[in-house]
């Protein structure tokens, strides 16, 4: 059992002293993690956008409509952690459209060095978010390639050995190009590596001729659940899968969110950004952060209650905040996570400075 998992098993009381020391977390992914407005630039002063320097030096590799630095899901995660009195230093290495393969091989057209961000520090937690179609063949992805690079990144975070290989040795159809990867000087064998399971895309479900036309969101949700779960089980060194995509489906099934943003309903929230129907709205970003926060910390997301600062900042109504917290908690429990409630958070007032629970309140 790793030191990190031992802390979790010992429970919140025993972990309090350990969490007094800053925990370093890195989010690796793409636009599903940095999101869209208003979450896009939420809480940027409190998170480290490790590609901000790349954005400034090589702006041709960026989208002028989405200026950096970004906050997104990591920014919301940081706000939740601060509210809970957990000391986290939050960083992210994100690039629009990036796959896990792209992060490891640095296949970035503008020359952004993404792999160097992963090697920059000795992380306590690393969250890996694949491209939204990377893991599912029906949507044009390559599941064997996805699994191969889950394994490559996990091992580089944990072991960090330099290597030379051909992708043809890893999965059918892989390139014969010789890949040379340097050592990771900050590898941490005790790091907890999580997979950020993404969600079904309405733009691939409802339009005529789309890959999941006539099948509904559940078909893509199930394929993503299976792909991320199989990658984690086959690897054996993954700490867990954050079931974000399943939480989206649960929100739809329960009526908290409506299923088809092309035909919005009077009741329920839209989890998808209105301009493209696949990036997360502020509600989708908030639900993502709640699930990730619960997965990593094991704090029950429903502890926050209706008057939670990040939700208010993002314009999420108190009732919807409460509902999304409940969805996150229910999905985490259904996925096998043992959650610890912090009722002092539920009673905490909405204040300009996040409130902190005392050790006794935990």
| pLDDT over 50 (residue 300) | yes
CA distance 206 to 163: 43
292 pLDDT band, cuts 50/70/90, is very high
Give a yes or no: residue 353 inside a domain: no
The CATH number given to whatever domain includes residue 51 is: 3.40.50.1110
Tens digits of residue pLDDT in 5-61:
444 444 444 344 444 679 999 999 999 999 999 999 999 999 999 999 999 998 887
358 pLDDT band, cuts 50/70/90, is very low
Give a yes or no: residue 358 inside a domain: no
- What's the angle, vertex CA 282, arms to CA 346 and CA 348, rounded to 5? 15
Considering its fold, how many domains does the chain have in total?
1
361 pLDDT band, cuts 50/70/90, is very low
Per the CB < 8 A criterion, the answer to whether 111 and 58 are in contact is yes
Tens digits of residue pLDDT in 228-273:
999 999 999 999 999 999 999 999 999 999 999 999 888 899 999 9
Give a yes or no: residue 30 inside a domain: yes
CB-CB neighbours of 14 under 10 Å: 12
pLDDT recorded at residue 351: 45
User: Can you tell me whether residue 93 is helix, strand or coil?
Assistant: strand
| Integer angstrom CA distances of residue 86 from 15, 62, 82, 115, 356 | 10, 33, 6, 28, 9
Give a yes or no: residue 103 inside a domain: yes
Give a yes or no: residue 361 inside a domain: no
Which residues are within 8 A (CB) of 312 and not within 5 positions of it... i.e. 6 or more apart? 318, 321, 350
Q: How big, in percent rounded to 5, are the helix, strand and coil portions of the chain?
A: 45, 10, 45
pLDDT recorded at residue 357: 59
Q: Check residue 179 and give left, alpha or beta (phi > 0: left; psi -120 to 50: alpha).
A: beta
Q: Which residues, listed in sequence order, are joined to residue 353 by a DSSP beta bridge?
A: none
pLDDT recorded at residue 266: 81
| pLDDT over 90 (residue 356) | no
| pLDDT over 90 (residue 223) | yes
Token code pair at residue 274: 């209105």
Token code pair at residue 140: 């044009």
Per the CB < 8 A criterion, the answer to whether 197 and 287 are in contact is no
102-109, long-range: CB < 8 A, 24+ apart: 103/28, 103/149, 103/153, 104/149, 104/152, 104/153, 104/156, 104/181, 105/179, 108/61, 109/61
Which residues are within 8 A (CB) of 191 and not within 5 positions of it... i.e. 6 or more apart? 4, 122, 123, 124, 125, 126, 157, 158
CA distance 244 to 342: 21
Proportion of the chain above pLDDT 90, given as a percent: 83
Tens digits of residue pLDDT in 129-142:
999 999 999 999 99
Give a yes or no: residue 46 inside a domain: yes
User: Which domain range does residue 300 map to?
Assistant: 3-347
Tens digits of residue pLDDT in 61-119:
778 889 999 999 999 999 999 999 999 999 999 999 999 999 999 998 788 999 999 99
pLDDT recorded at residue 265: 83
Give a yes or no: residue 45 inside a domain: yes
354 pLDDT band, cuts 50/70/90, is very low
pLDDT recorded at residue 61: 73
Give a yes or no: residue 51 inside a domain: yes
pTM: 0.91
Tens digits of residue pLDDT in 169-199:
999 999 999 999 999 999 999 999 999 999 9
pLDDT recorded at residue 1: 44
Query: What does the DSSP 8-state code read for residue 278?
Result: S
CA distance 183 to 153: 12
Q: Which helix (H) or strand (E) holds 247?
A: helix 244-254
**Mean per-residue pLDDT of the chain:** 91
- Residues 324-341 have a mean pLDDT of 97
Q: How many H-runs (helices) and E-runs (strands) does the chain carry?
A: 14, 8
- Residues 347-351 have a mean pLDDT of 49
Which residues are within 8 A (CB) of 95 and not within 5 positions of it... i.e. 6 or more apart? 30, 51, 61, 102, 103, 108, 112, 114
């Amino acid at each position: 059992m790793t030191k990190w998992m031992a802390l979790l098993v010992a429970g919140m009381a025993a972990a309090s002293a350990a969490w007094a020391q800053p925990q370093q977390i890195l989010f690796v992914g793409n636009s599903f993690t940095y999101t869209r407005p208003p979450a896009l630039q939420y809480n940027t002063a409190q998170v480290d956008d490790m590609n901000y320097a790349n954005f400034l030096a090589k702006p041709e590799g960026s989208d002028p409509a989405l200026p950096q630095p970004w906050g997104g899901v990591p920014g919301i995660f940081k706000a939740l952690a601060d509210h809970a009195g957990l000391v986290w230093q939050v960083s992210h290495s994100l690039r629009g459209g990036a796959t896990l393969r792209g992060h490891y091989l640095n296949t970035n057209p503008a020359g952004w060095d993404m792999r160097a961000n992963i090697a920059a520090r000795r992380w306590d937690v690393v969250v890996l978010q694949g491209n939204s179609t990377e893991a599912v063949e029906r949507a044009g992805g390559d599941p064997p390639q996805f699994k191969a690079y889950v394994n490559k990144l996990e091992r580089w975070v944990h072991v960090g050995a330099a290597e030379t290989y051909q992708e043809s040795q890893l999965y059918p159809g892989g390139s014969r190009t010789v890949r040379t990867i340097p050592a990771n000087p900050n590898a941490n064998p005790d790091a907890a590596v999580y997979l950020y399971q993404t969600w079904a895309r309405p733009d691939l479900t409802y339009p005529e001729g789309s890959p999941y036309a006539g099948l509904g969101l559940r078909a893509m949700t199930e394929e993503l659940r299976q792909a991320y779960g199989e990658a984690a089980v086959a690897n054996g060194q993954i700490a867990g899968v954050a079931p974000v995509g399943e939480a989206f489906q649960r929100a739809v099934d329960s009526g908290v969110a409506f299923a088809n943003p092309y035909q919005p309903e009077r009741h329920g929230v839209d989890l998808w950004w209105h301009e493209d129907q696949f990036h997360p709205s502020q509600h989708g970003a908030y639900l993502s952060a709640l699930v990730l926060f619960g997965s990593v910390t094991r704090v029950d997301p429903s502890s926050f209650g209706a008057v939670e600062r990040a939700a208010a900042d993002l314009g999420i109504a108190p009732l919807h905040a409460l509902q999304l917290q409940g969805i996150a908690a229910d999905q985490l429990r259904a996925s096998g996570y043992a959650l610890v409630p912090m009722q002092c958070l539920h009673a905490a007032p909405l204040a300009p400075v996040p409130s902190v629970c005392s050790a006794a309140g935990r």
